[in-house]
């Protein structure tokens, strides 16, 4: 939902109560996703401030990524080593439908805040536990971060040039994939809870490496059945050709992938070589893969002789899929991004108007909305959060 849409539009998750006790990226991003669709989110951070405040760039001392990842959240600072602060945290867990945490396994239990203790007061509680390696297994107690998950999952081993080292993504890929997984897992657990007479919640055990491992494709079954290990091939694919990034005559880049024979035939038409569709070296997917160097070279040579605008026009005329390789300055001006408001400008108390990624996906009847950006001040909403708890306790007592 854009900032221009009415604030009174219905929110899909209105009434859902979420406590974000996690730090940095994956756990907090789960809460951000839920908050984007109307959940009431309280962010608990240490009085020194969440580490995400120091992750990435700042402007005039204001952390920029924090503005995004802590949007639609109320902030309270609690030191869980202190008994009084732990009691406030327990009150929040009594209030919540969902609690998200990423402490080492057993840390909350040592403070008397394990799931069994919390569920004794709030049987419907869903707790999402985010760790590097999960709550069980011989590696459960190891510290884990997205970078480690990107290696451990097998992602890095298949990413990069054939003659180069394993390549890590330049952003939090494992954290982001885990956050999306955690959001749907929390909603799945809530759906199950709300469909049963006892209304009991459960624990979501979410590692960082497993969601990324789960979307890597057919590596496991191909190894199991054929003994094949996928190797690094740069931008090429072991399953289709042509597929690569190609430089144009005006030093821009485009990408394409011939995922089906029909698409390959359209690519041949776009580059002025429709006869290649009948060439036995390129007329079937397996043949194209076997001759990937040759077909890739033909496409690359044609694109190298054309300006970007001419390449895109030729492919559009042939209805062959292609995309320019964008940087952010191009993204924020692109008509598709603008039309769908994929990047949105929102007011911010510290920086004026700021642009950030909008809420995705788009729901036709209950769209998400950025109601506020992440407050720069630590403990910014303490009074409001405590007042909310006091109101809830009074209602429960009555």
How many angstroms separate the CA atoms of 333 and 181, rounded? 31
Evaluate the omega torsion of the peptide bond into residue 361 and state whether it is cis, within 30 degrees of 0.
yes
User: Of 68, 102, 101, which Cα lies nearest the Cα of 376?
Assistant: 68
Measured CA angle at 169 (ends 168, 174), to 5 deg: 95
Q: Based on the number of CB atoms within 10 Å of its own CB, is 36 exposed (0-12), middle (13-18) or buried (19 or more)? A: buried
- What secondary structure, in 3-state letters, does 143-188 show? CCCHHHHHHHCCCHHHCCCCCCCCCCCCCCHHHHHHHHHHHHHHHH
Q: Are 277 and 285 in contact (CB under 8 A)?
A: no
Measured CA angle at 206 (ends 180, 377), to 5 deg: 65
Token output for 282: 């390129």
Residues labelled as active-site residues: 175
């Amino acid at each position: 939902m854009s900032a221009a849409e009415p604030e009174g539009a219905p929110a899909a998750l209105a009434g859902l109560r979420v406590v974000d006790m996690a730090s940095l990226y994956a756990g907090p991003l789960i809460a951000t996703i839920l908050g984007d669709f109307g959940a009431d989110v309280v962010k608990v951070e240490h009085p020194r401030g969440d580490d995400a405040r120091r992750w990435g760039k700042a402007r005039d001392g204001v952390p920029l990524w924090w503005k995004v990842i802590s949007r639609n959240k109320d902030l309270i600072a609690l030191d869980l080593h202190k008994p009084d602060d732990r009691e406030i945290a327990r009150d929040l867990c009594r209030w919540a439908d969902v609690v998200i945490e990423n402490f080492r396994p057993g840390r909350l239990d040592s403070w008397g805040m394990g799931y069994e203790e919390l569920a004794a007061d709030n049987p419907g509680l869903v707790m999402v536990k985010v760790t590097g390696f999960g709550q069980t297994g011989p590696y459960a107690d190891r510290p884990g971060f997205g970078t480690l998950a990107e290696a451990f999952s097998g992602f890095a081993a298949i990413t990069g040039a054939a003659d180069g080292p394993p390549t890590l993504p330049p952003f939090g890929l494992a954290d982001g994939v885990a956050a999306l997984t955690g959001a749907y897992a929390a909603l799945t657990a809530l759906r199950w809870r709300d469909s049963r007479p006892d209304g009991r919640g459960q624990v979501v055990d979410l590692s960082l490496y497993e969601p990324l491992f789960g979307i890597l494709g057919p590596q496991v079954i191909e190894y199991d059945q054929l003994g094949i290990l996928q190797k690094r091939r740069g931008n090429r694919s072991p399953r289709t050709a042509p597929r690569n990034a190609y430089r144009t005559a005006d030093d821009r880049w485009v990408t394409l992938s011939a995922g089906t024979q029909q698409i390959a035939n359209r690519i041949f038409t776009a580059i002025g070589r429709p006869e290649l569709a009948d060439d036995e070296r390129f007329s079937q997917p397996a043949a194209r893969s076997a001759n990937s160097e040759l077909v890739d070279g033909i496409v690359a040579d044609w694109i190298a002789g054309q300006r970007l605008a001419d390449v895109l026009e030729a492919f559009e005329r042939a209805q062959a899929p292609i995309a320019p390789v964008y940087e952010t300055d191009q993204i924020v001006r692109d008509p598709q991004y603008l039309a769908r408001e994929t990047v949105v400008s929102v007011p911010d108390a510290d920086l004026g108007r700021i642009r950030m990624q909008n809420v995705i996906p788009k729901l036709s009847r209950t769209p998400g909305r950025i109601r506020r950006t992440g407050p720069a001040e630590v403990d910014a909403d303490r009074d409001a959060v405590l007042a909310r708890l006091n109101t809830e306790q009074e209602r429960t007592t009555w």
